[in-house]
A = this chain, B = another copy of it.
Amino acid sequence: MQKPSIPKGTRDFSPEEVAKRNYIIQTIRQAFESYGFQPIETPSFENMETLMGKYGEEGDRLIFKILNSGDFLKDVPQDLYEERNSQRITSQISEKALRYDLTVPFARYVVQHQNEIAFPFKRYQIQPVWRADRPQKGRYREFYQCDADVVGARSLWQEVEFVQLYDSVFTALQVKGVTIKMNHRKILSGFAEIIGAPDKLIDFTVALDKLDKIGKEKVEEEMCSKGISTEAIAKIQPVFSLEGDFSQKISQLKELLATSSVGLEGVADLEFIHAQTQQLGLQTATLELEVTLARGLNYYTGAIFEVAAPREVSLGSIGGGGRYDELTAIFGLKGMSGIGISFGLDRIYLVLEQLGLFPTAIAKSLEVLCVNFGDREALVSFGLVQQLRAQGYKAELYPEATKLKKQLAYADSRKVKYVVLIGEAELTAGTAVIKYMDTGEQATCPITEIGKVISEK
């Protein structure tokens, strides 16, 4: 028989990995809740029409479709069947699909439940999503998204709050030195206006986004190749060499965008967000203005966020988000502005791993093991185990009265700190031997005092 395996791009998580992932999730969840966000959960699969057409053509392809149950071919028209066209037959044999992200299901949720919701609605959602992407290092077909969004409020205080939230989460995780980069869709629109090519906004920003990676010259080449004139590119030169801190960049942008009212609106928004953040202060993060930032452009309409890991770990983005007007318009509910951010669980896991920031306690799955010397002794040990559990310890009785060596080896492999031995002699005396696994020392005390001895250690 072949050794079993799992589908490519998916993962089994061992106890240690689950404990570490839960530590991150719990930290994020706690921050979300202290910020007043409320959890919702949506089904793993949605009706096909809820998802299709929401992520572009590429996205449609990458959505996992679920085969209809039963005789799914029964109602396929014969002429369509004879075409043997996978794409055209799909909608006939599949009417459900696994969710691709948490944003579209959230939009669907808001529209469907609009009468039960108090707006502004602050929701968070931490659930897996699935994408039929080609698996590669760090990219999976099943992964968690951790999203917090607010829908129904246009105030910039929301942006200010998300900056604070990022700072709170990474501070709680002890990850010091993350950079919260911000940009604004309207600043990018302003650039397009300045170069006299508002229709080239996407091409322009896609090229600009590569500045760090390929350098100024190549970016200019790419812009040229997209039909942006050298004259226009000359006008926008200052963008390539913005310098200084947030405020200084704001000043330079005000000058550069002086003739673009939309551009100035974007600058004013960021100025406000920055000013409030300055006043409130950040614990460990830094706020930066990054005009090349263009993530999810066809989507965001206002502020854009991206969080970079501390410089010493070269891992890139560990979170991002932005404001998108008309979140729910795709489902027919207009005038709902939304803003949201996301935490990249897998990337954050790597950051904590690289920086050694996981608390050692979280991998402890067992604190006390009672050795099993046979049923009579085991019964007393089990009573002790129940007491320790009630006190909050992770404790167990070894299930079988097997060789001591084997039981101690098990204790070792579970990284147990205390082994308790109640053999025949101890049973008679009402005592127990406690063995400290890290030092090898041991001590004898009344059974009734084991809990106390451990808690005082």
Q: Which residues of B contact A50 (CB under 8 A)?
A: 4, 6
CB-defined contacts of A38 to chain B, threshold 8 Å: 15, 18, 365
Q: Which of A1-35 contact B (CB under 8 A)?
A: 1, 3-7, 10-15, 18-19, 21-22, 33-35
Closest to A275 in B: B379
Determine whether the beta carbon of B18 is less than 8 Å from that of A41: yes
Decide: A15 and B389 in contact? CB cutoff 8 A. no
Give the docked Cα–Cα distance between A51 and B399 (Å). 31
Q: Does A55 contact B (CB under 8 A)?
A: no
Mark the stretch among A149-157, A220-228, A247-255 that contacts chain B. A149-157
Nearest CB in chain B to that of A67: its residue = B65
Q: By the criterion CB–CB under 8 Å, are B36 and A164 in contact?
A: no
- Whether a CB of chain B sits under 8 angstroms from the CB of A444 is no
Least CB distance from A331 to B in Å reads 5
Q: Hey, which chain B residues are within 8 Å of A47, CB to CB?
A: 4-7
Task: Check B43–A6 contact: CB distance below 8 A.
Answer: yes
A382 within 8 A of B: yes
* Cβ contact of A7, chosen from B46, B116, B158, cutoff 8 A: B46
Closest chain B residue to A410, Cβ basis: B118
Q: Is the CB of B392 within 8 A of A11?
A: no
Q: Which residues of chain B are within 8 angstroms of A40 by Cβ–Cβ distance?
A: 12-15, 18
Partner of A15, one of B34, B39, B150, B279: B39
- Tell me, yes or no, whether A372 is within 8 Å of chain B by CB: yes
Could you tell me the distance in whole angstroms from the C-beta of A164 to the nearest C-beta in chain B?
6
Q: Cβ of B34 and Cβ of A393 under 8 Å apart?
A: yes
The 8 A-B residue pairs whose C-beta atoms are closest, nearest first, are: A10-B43, A15-B38, A1-B332, A118-B413, A36-B396, A155-B399, A69-B132, A18-B39
Given contacts A161-B397, A161-B399, 7 further A-B contacts (CB under 8 A): A10-B45, A12-B109, A33-B365, A71-B86, A72-B86, A118-B413, A157-B399
**Can you spell out 23 A-B residue pairs with CB atoms less than 8 angstroms apart?**
A1-B332, A4-B331, A5-B47, A6-B112, A12-B41, A13-B40, A14-B116, A15-B38, A15-B123, A22-B39, A35-B396, A44-B98, A44-B128, A65-B67, A66-B67, A67-B90, A69-B132, A73-B86, A155-B400, A157-B397, A168-B389, A279-B379, A280-B386
